[in-house]
Structure 1
Amino acid sequence: MNATTEKVNSSTPIVSTHDADDTRRSIVEGDLLPLSTPDPAAERRLRKKIDLHLIPIVSLLYLLCFIDRANLGNAKIAGLDKDLGMTGYDYNIVLSVFYVSYILFGIPAVVVCKWVGPGWFLPTTSIMFGVCSVATAFVTSVPQACAIRFLLGIFETGMMPGIAYYLSRWYKRAELTFRLSLYIMMAPLAGAFGGLLAGGILRLPRIGSLTSWRMIFALEGIVTIGVSIIALVILTDRPETAIWLGPEEKALVIARVRSERVVGNEAVDAMGRRKFLRGVFSPVTLSVGFIFLLDAVTVQTFAFFLPSIIRTIFPEYTTIQQQLLTAPPYLAGAAMMVSMSALSWRSDRRQVFFKPSTVLVIIAYIVFLTSNNQWARYAATFLASTVFTLGPLTNAQVAANVVSDTARSAAIATNCIFAHCGGLIGSWTFVEWDAPLYRIGNGLNLAAASGVLVLSTLTLLWMKADNRARDARAMEVNGVDESLSGLPEKELEDLDWQHPGFRWKP
């Protein structure tokens, strides 16, 4: 039985639905916990407990998600293109089809995630993309590969925003960035592990009737399905339904999330159109989303074409050696991501940390464009891998700059939709006739990284300027906005970031 339904039939003593409602009312009325001064030691213990129960399983699900998505690049240099008779732009088309469904179903996936609950949604969608991975092992033509990749996009599109939204139910604004990095770190680690795994699998003579690249999809898909079934049993939907939290701990989780709100009493509110649109059309959501689009161009280029890039750098190496050489750059990217996210957590700032990794990416693509030295080009792959850093930072930034749970789900989904569009563009940046130096692809990635640097700086300056303007308006009315007097609480909640008391969090 899934934790979404509270596991009320369990023999473990837990808070009933009625008790959970009483707990929420007590928090609202200030009877149970003071919102402003929780015990720091209790908060540290609670964070550690949440970390241990949530982060490992969602990280593992995302690891498998990214492996099942990016293993196409490993399969390509293992013979997939030849076996399916790919010519011209066929490989790019197979990549693009995935992003078409990824974009079309991104918002609906997050709506379903909120409606049914992450405890059901995340493992179920993971099972389905595991099935798609297994099915890929049996394709015999490019159209069949396109059909399976389209289905894979439908089931994978909700994973990244779904996990980000799920964790935003449990952590405060400053804490969220680092926790997001711990699961998004699985993307570069998936690249490293995927290369190592592909190299190991290719050493096997066969799995059943499957040989060569087909074994990669079959084995990785089976592992995904098995892990997802376990997650379906153990994932907890929200603090109120966590059987591993006591009543006081549940109350503290809810109080911590609510303490950063301008208005609103519910930690998890009902879906509402106005609040959803506030999340989608927040200026910060749109700006950061476009930043993530530009970043995703390079992220997806890196994920899908790194094996091909390594092949052009070291053509004299064997396929297995080339697979293994894809691992170290990914590890460097993971280390950079965690470092920047940890600094973001401690400073409770996000926007400023967009810049360090972006500068390194710019340097990397300048090297790709100007140097023919194989070791200089391989060193540039390490710098380019730092592009993964913006994944947790951008999702945390859009989540921090709206108020309600519904607006957060919409903001994170919108941010990821922008990224999916970037992935679609990225699937066409490297084409076969541009090999081996890929000057067009490298030039486009250099332009994208430069755009990130400029736009993130302008957005930061705008946020600070708008906060000053809001402060000035508040002083003019002596902190009291008469236009809000008498408004029902529902209408106040619907204002979200348009509420006069709201300030952007850089």
Structure 2
Amino acid sequence: MADDKGLSNHKEFLAPGAAHEAAGQGHAATDLHGRSLVEFDRAAERRLRWKIDLYTVPTVSLLYLFCFIDRANIGNAKLAGFEKDLHMENYDYNAVLSIFYIAYIVFEIPATMTCKWMGPGWFLPATTLAFGICSVGTAFVNDKQSASGVRFVLGIFEAGVMPGIAYYMSRWYRRSELTFRMALFMVMAPLAGAFGGLLASAILSLDHFGTLKSWRMIFAIEGIITIGLGLIGFLTLTDRPETARWLNQEEKDLAIARIKSERVSTTELLDKIDLAKTLRGIMCPVTLTTGFIFLLNNITVQGLAFFAPTIVGTIYPEASVVSKQLHTVPPYVVGAFFALLFPLLSWVFDRRMPWFVLSPPLVMIGYIMFLTSHDAMVRYGATFLCASGAFAFGSLTNGNASNNVVSDTARSSAIGTNVMLGNIGGLISTWSFLPFDGPDFVIGNGLNLATSTATTILGAMLWMWMRWDNRRREGIDVDQALAGMTQRQIQDLDWKHPGFRWRT
């Protein structure tokens, strides 16, 4: 077995009951070239992976579903009189949307690091409970100032949800498995668009909810559901493999060892937060480029969430409010299918970068249709293409950021950076469809055509650079490069370790 520095070239078969040494603190599960020193019983891994899927994915998926619903239901409320009742004019609605994203962006990395410090098993339910309360509070606002205040606080508490869940899942899954598991919860974003429209339609069919009527019922009822899910999360979320009551000791050791076997020179799976590795995650070139790609893509994703009901309203101006809500559902369902398909293929082929290049053209075609046609059915069909190409990027970019750093600390800061940059795109999206630009929204549609084109180009360039740098690293003498360094210094290198390879 490997010594503390992982210098051994010996490779042994690791049965479920023999994982303890690889899982133990002070032992590395790779050599200095990043090659795994152990092989795993594939049948035991499959059983373990299925068990992890059952105990982690359903809870985080529901939390993220209502995180996105509580963020985007303001679009459904807008159709039901939100603007009119709060006496909003001109760009007031866009300003209220922007307030959320200012808080969301500022608190993104701090929230993700807090998640690591507290542990996801406590942080995720607590922040869900908090933003559920904020959603209920929105039902009682009476002017744009109070609406802006509640949306700002909502942004603070929702900031850590997506990166927190992505980081949480990186504690459980191999790099090849991770993107698809992220997709299983991030698919809730397009499903929130579909389910949120259906739920809003059902709620609006009620005469009242207590003393609340119309759009106020949407925020109150959906917020109460969120609070309930947050309370359940305290009981169902397990922080990490070591504390999982539903795993026996052999399964815990196997869960830890298989993750360590992919992290070059790592001797502890959950390290303490330190500045060096935090900055490694933030300043990684793959993190920054991937985050900028997510920024461009999020202009489309969040724009669809906030303005899909408005866009449908311009396509079918004579339809009832409920009918307009229902017309927003089918594009999201199709988008959800592709949000799972591309990450599934990335797991099957263990490649993520090809989908950075292949999915944006669907978005490009959709916005070209918006810009060149006034036919209602053509434009409605375009929303399907836009959703199909855009929604997979949440899991693809977070998976790419997570897979291309080494330590747990760097992973938490890399994911936080990716989501922070992505939500700058969300902030931009709040100003992409402006009242004076309707009903054709040439500026908004043109912007999204430009961003999807840029996404395709940047994705191709990043892919080529990662392949080129991997070939460069092959020529480095690893033993000479690391000569004289302590184990701590070697581990602090993270992605700069000469034995590390980018995962494309």
> Please, what TM-score do these two structures have when normalized by structure 1?
0.93
Report SS of the residue matched to 1:260.
Answer: coil
Q: What is the letter of the counterpart of residue 448 of structure 2?
A: N
Question: Partners of 1:172 and 1:25 in 2: how far apart?
Answer: 18
Q: What is the match of residue 170 of structure 2?
A: 168
* 1:498 counterpart = 2:496: yes
Residue from 238, 260, 263 that aligns with 2:262: 260
- 1:84-483 aligned at under 5 Å gives the runs 84-386=86-388, 387-472=390-475, 474=476, 477=477, 480-483=478-481
Contact 1:27 1:255 in 2 (8 A): no
CA shift in 2, pair 1:82/1:170, >3 Å: same
Q: What is the match of residue 59 of structure 1?
A: 61
Identity %: 56
CA shift in 2, pair 1:286/1:268, >3 Å: same
Q: What is the letter of the counterpart of residue 158 of structure 2?
A: E
1:474-506 superposed Cα distances (whole Å, 9 cap, x missing partner): 2xx4xx432412311111000001011111111
Question: Partners of 2:406 and 2:359 in 1: how far apart?
Answer: 28
C-alpha displacement at 1:29, in angstroms? Answer: 7.5
- Which runs of 5 or more structure 2 residues have no equivalent in the other structure? 1-18, 30-35
- Which runs of 5 or more structure 1 residues have no equivalent in the other structure? 1-19
1:43-87 superposed Cα distances (whole Å, 9 cap, x missing partner): 000000000000000000000000000000000011001000110
Question: Partners of 1:186 and 1:332 in 2: how far apart?
Answer: 12
Contact 1:178 1:338 in 2 (8 A): yes
Q: What is the letter of the counterpart of residue 404 of structure 1?
A: S
Question: Partners of 2:43 and 2:156 in 1: how far apart?
Answer: 43
Q: What is the letter of the counterpart of residue 420 of structure 1?
A: N
Question: Partners of 2:187 and 2:24 in 1: how far apart?
Answer: 37
Contact 1:264 1:489 in 2 (8 A): no
Contact 2:20 2:253 in 1 (8 A): no
Question: Partners of 1:246 and 1:454 in 2: how far apart?
Answer: 47
C-alpha displacement at 1:25, in angstroms? Answer: 2.4
Residue from 68, 74, 83 that aligns with 1:72: 74
C-alpha displacement at 1:471, in angstroms? Answer: 1.1
> Please, what TM-score do these two structures have when normalized by structure 2?
0.93
Report SS of the residue matched to 2:272.
Answer: coil
Report SS of the residue matched to 2:293.
Answer: helix
Q: What is the letter of the counterpart of residue 135 of structure 2?
A: S
CA shift in 2, pair 1:27/1:347, >3 Å: farther
Q: What is the letter of the counterpart of residue 486 of structure 1?
A: G
Q: What is the letter of the counterpart of residue 443 of structure 1?
A: G
Contact 2:28 2:267 in 1 (8 A): no
Q: Report how many aligned residue pairs link the two structures.
A: 479
Contact 2:278 2:410 in 1 (8 A): yes
1:128-173 superposed Cα distances (whole Å, 9 cap, x missing partner): 0000000000000001000000000000010000000000000000
Q: What is the match of residue 3 of structure 2?
A: none
Q: Name the Cα RMSD after superposition.
A: 1.4
C-alpha displacement at 1:28, in angstroms? Answer: 2.6
CA shift in 2, pair 1:211/1:35, >3 Å: farther
Q: What is the letter of the counterpart of residue 269 of structure 2?
A: A
Contact 1:262 1:502 in 2 (8 A): yes
